[in-house]
Structures are given as C-alpha cells and as structure tokens.
Amino acid sequence: MASPHFDVIRDPLWDNIRLEPIAVACIDTPAFQRLRYVRQLGHAFLVYPGATHSRFEHALGAYHLARRALAMLEERGELADIGEDEKLAVRLAALLHDLGHYPFSHALEEAGFPHHEPLGAARLRTGTLGDVLRTEGGDALIDSIAALIQGRSSSPLAGLVSSSLDLDKLDYLSRDARNCGVPYGTLDVDRLLASLTIVDTPDGREVGVHEKGVSALESMLFAKYQMYRNVYWHHAVRSATCMFKRAVRATVNAGALTSDALAEATDDTLATLLAEHDPTGLATALRERRLHKRALDLPASEVGETIAKWVSDDPARLEAAEDALAAELDLPAGGVLVDFPTRSSMLGVDLALLTRDGRVERLTDEGRVGQLGLPRIAGELYASARRLRIFTSQPIALTRIPEALTQ
C-alpha cells in the first residue's frame, strides 16, 4: 500500500514540519496566507529587531506540535476510542486557531474590538477555506474546529488546543524567545509532550499531565512570566501599543476605518491606512519610532487597589481621562497615554494530574504541596510583571498617580 503523501516545510524552530494534504489545502487559501503578513508580536520589533515572525509561522508550529502530541498518545494506545475525524479536527484547529487574528498582536482586542476567536470561527465557513473544509468533512468538521478554537469543545482532546498546557503556548513561548534573542522562553518541550496523557475525571475524559512532567510544567509557567515581564510588557513595547490603539480608535471614530476592515487587514495595509487617515499624528510618530516616554512607572504591587477598574477595561472612558490629564499638563490630546495591562490568567493552572501510583488529582492555582509551588505565588509574580505606566509625548516626571485614574 502506498504511503500517504506529506509536504515538508523547513522551520527555524522545529526543523521539518510535515503537512498532510488537507493542511496544505487550508494553507493555500487566502484566509490563511493573510497570516504571513500579521506579525506575531505586534510592535515588539521596535525593541527586539528579530521579532518580525508571523502568525503564519506560529500556526504551522502549533499544527506540528499537535501532530507530535497525537502521535505520542496514539503510541501509548490512549486514542483507541477516539475517531479519526476528531483527531483531524484537533490538528486543523491547531493550524487555524489564529485565523481571525487582527494585525499587531492583541492590541486591538485591548482597544475594545471583538476578540479574534469568534472572528476566526466565522472565517472557517466562508470563501475558499470554507469550501476546502466542507469538501473534507462537511459542516460537522467546521463545527468541531470552531468549538475547539473557541474553547467550548467537549472532546477529550480539547485541552491540546485550549488549556493551561495547550500547544499554542508551547510554540509561541519557544518561538518568541528565539526570535527576540532572549533566554526566558526556553521550554522542555519534549518532556512536556511526553507527559501529556488522557485521564478520566468526574467531568469526563480530558487531556492531563503525568506527574513526571510537573517540573517541566512549572518551568513553562515561569518562562511565561519572564516573557511577559521582559518582552510582551516591555515599557517601549507598551508605549508603542498604546499609541497604536489610540490611533486606530481615532481613525475608526473619524469614519475612515471600519471594524470589518480591521479584521481583514494585515500589518502593512493597516499601517498604510493609518498613515493616510489617523487624525492624531500618533501613527506617523510610531512609524518613525518617536515613542511616548514614561512619566510614571509603578509595579502593580505598589499600585494596590487604588486604580479604578475602568482604566483597564473601558477604552473610551480612559481616553477621556487621558485627554483631561493632557490638558492639565499643557499637552495636546493624545499627549498622555495610560497603560495598565491585564492578564489575570498569566500563571493560571487547571489541569488533571496523573500521579505515579495511578490516582488522578487536580492541579489548580493552589499548586500541589511539594510538587508545584509556582501557582501559589502567581499573584505576586503577576503584580511584579504588571505595571501602571503613564506615557507622555514630552518628557515629564509625575510623582504620584493622578486622581482622575482612581475614581
């Protein structure tokens, strides 16, 4: 019997990535090719010049890890009662999970635009990609992939796509660290994949981790913390992100750009649109790397409960407060930008644990005495990585948090 045909792509992180025919067909659609032109880390390249890798590369990496994880589970006989259609859905969900991603990373979601997961799920049903998926497995396949991408699948394999230890994290932490040239995201990927297992829990069967992989899991969580602290939330990256968010919102409010156009754009097309239509001038300053500077920079551990919740979750109200503060400081509208990013689940853990003696426990944010201690100090690590920053277009030093942000 002839062997199935696989195409091979050379990847700088995982070397050879083998692609089955349906994966190649999905990759060759316009919806997926768009991801070549969407950078993985947004404006991080303004700080780390190598951070120009794309969502395209990351998607291929997640697919590659999905194939590896499924192969290991298959070898151990843990997938005997799981159908080929379910395994295919997992592989394709890993490949297509970022299909709806906006340009410039997660900035536009922070700016109040819809999240990318439902956008991606909707994109599965349209255009050439929709035709490819229907030909392969009908609407049932599309439904399965969409559920996996949005974290609402009941499949025992759903944790490979959306969980505390999903394959998305293994690729992006490794890939981001490699391309930024930092050591923080180094993971023991082989150990983590080898420790994945299917376990029976009171809520049904799900992907869990064997006790032998706990140390590698803890290292992954700490790598995630380090990447947020040193890369994702680097002060210059966050300044650029704030400028970008403000420019996009202003352009949309001026009627020169729509939410639908944002969802279809690439980094370059959006940057061009902003250069032509942004009424604030922030997009031009950003393109020339004239970034706002820090006037105040405090770790969340020092901020405590003084900052109002709307600072992080109400972009329109925050803009009004920023402009009021700018007027007080004799700066133009947009001359003050406030940043207090949130990622409360940064070090969150909710995984089934298979112990060496065959019992099933639950790893949660409480950790596991003598085994997994990092989640128990997750709050302190989060508070040290998260910072309240006020950026200004002219050098100014603020000595305290403005009252406008505490009410």
Same domain membership, residue 74 and residue 3: yes
Give the span between the Cα atoms of 10 and 367, in whole angstroms.
38
| Radius of gyration in angstroms for the set of CA atoms belonging to the chain, rounded to a whole number | 22
Give the span between the Cα atoms of 94 and 170, in whole angstroms.
12
Contact, 349 vs 169, CB < 8 A? no
Domain that holds residue 359: 182-223+348-376
Same domain membership, residue 146 and residue 23: yes
Domain end marker among 151, 181, 211: 181
The 8 Å CB, 24+ separation contacts for 6-12 are: 9/60, 11/57, 11/60, 11/61, 11/64, 12/178
Contact, 347 vs 226, CB < 8 A? no
Same domain membership, residue 296 and residue 214: no
Residue 228 lies in a domain: no
- pLDDT category at 184 given cuts 50, 70, 90 is confident
Same domain membership, residue 207 and residue 83: no
Using one digit for the tens of pLDDT, what is the confidence trace for 372-384? 566 667 778 888 8
pLDDT at 108 over 90: yes
Same domain membership, residue 98 and residue 175: yes
Helices (H) and strands (E) in the chain, counts: 18, 9
Residue 229 lies in a domain: no
* Closest of 88, 48, 109, 63 to residue 263, by C-alpha: 109
DSSP class per residue in 248-260: HHHHHHTTS--HH
Tally the domains of the chain.
3
At 26, which CATH number? 1.10.3210.10
Residue 230 lies in a domain: no
Q: In this predicted model, which residue has the larger pLDDT, 313 or 24?
A: 24
* Closest of 103, 155, 108 to residue 146, by C-alpha: 155
Beta strand 360-363 with 351-354: parallel, antiparallel or unpaired?
Answer: antiparallel
Tell me the β-bridge partners of 38: none
* Residue 366: CB atoms within 10 Å: 12
Strand residue runs (E) in 190-307: 196-201, 204-210, 293-299
At 282, which CATH number? 1.20.1250
Q: Which residues contact 109 (CB under 8 A, 6 or more apart)?
A: 102, 115, 116
Same domain membership, residue 110 and residue 91: yes
Same domain membership, residue 392 and residue 252: yes
Give the span between the Cα atoms of 222 and 235, in whole angstroms.
20
- Longest pairwise C-alpha distance within the chain: 77
Report the range of poorest mean pLDDT among 49-53, 59-63, 374-378.
Answer: 374-378
Instruction: Using a pLDDT cut of 70, give the percent of the chain over it.
Output: 96
pLDDT at 276: 95
Same domain membership, residue 193 and residue 177: no
Same domain membership, residue 194 and residue 298: no
Residue 62 lies in a domain: yes
Same domain membership, residue 149 and residue 54: yes
pLDDT at 271: 96
Same domain membership, residue 157 and residue 176: yes
| Joined tokens for residue 362 | 């639950």
DSSP state, 367?
A: B
Number of residues assigned to the chain: 407
Same domain membership, residue 246 and residue 197: no
pLDDT at 185: 73
Q: Please give the order of strands across the beta sheet that includes 387-392.
A: 293-299, 387-392, 336-339
| Joined tokens for residue 83 | 């159908």
Contact, 231 vs 172, CB < 8 A? no
* Residue 260: CB atoms within 10 Å: 9
Reported as type and span, the H/E element at residue 354 is: strand 351-354
Using one digit for the tens of pLDDT, what is the confidence trace for 298-353? 999 899 888 999 999 999 999 999 999 999 999 999 999 999 999 877 888 888 99
Give the span between the Cα atoms of 13 and 174, in whole angstroms.
8
* Closest of 254, 278, 255, 274 to residue 266, by C-alpha: 274
> Which whole number is the average pLDDT over 253-274?
95
- pTM attached to this predicted model: 0.95
Give the torsion through C-alpha atoms of 198, 203, 204, 207, to 10 deg: -20
In this structure, which amino acid lies at residue 285? Answer: A
